[in-house]
Amino acid sequence: MKLSNTFTFIRILYAPIFLILYFLPIWTGIPSAISLIISIPLLIFAEFTDYLDGHYARKRNEVSDFGKMFDPFADVFLHLSTFVCYMFSAGTMGGYVNPVIFILLMWREISQNFLRMVAAKQGTAIAARKGGKYKTVLYIFSGFYALFLELLVRLNAVPDCFGALKLASSILFILCVVLSYASFIDYLRHFGKVLKQ
């Protein structure tokens, strides 16, 4: 496997690992922060591989149509996996992602992947556009923010303003929906002719 694709595969590999680490205290009933303390640096590295795969693809001349599809797929696989986790909390105050918000994000990502598959069948590889990259950055920021709130819960360090902090999390994920659909419309504007064909 090419080095760039190996870095991409790390994100897919880490998604179930993160899910297990996140839910372990919830499944066992022990609200321990250890699993999150382990998972946070691993998640940071997994997100960093998004830069590494592109860097080495260009540096080693490994840019390919497969990589252009594999990279965004790995992003979606990891982010939707973490967002599922953020719908739940080890505490009693509920999760950080509303299920309706998650479903809207999932619909967008499934539709985007469908567009990529149709385009690939027509011989066109859809690479990430600026709007999609901005959306990914917002996904990452919102995800780490929710993870920070959950860490506070598991450390029993919930501040009095936690309700306001959770509201901010809800706003961030609503912005994720807005930006994700705006970028999807942009993809349709540029590649919609593939669907017409």
Q: What is the largest CA-CA distance in the chain?
A: 57
* Structure-block tokens of residue 90: 């080890």
Helix (H) or strand (E) holding 82: helix 65-85
For the chain, the distance separating the N- and C-terminal CA atoms, rounded to the nearest angstrom, is 33
At residue 92, the pLDDT reads 77
| Residues 101, 106, 109, 111, CA torsion sign | negative
Tens-place pLDDT, residues 78-135: 999 999 999 999 887 789 999 999 999 999 999 998 888 888 777 777 777 788 889 9
Tens-place pLDDT, residues 1-48: 789 889 999 999 999 999 999 999 888 877 689 999 999 999 999 999
CA 131 from centre of chain: 15
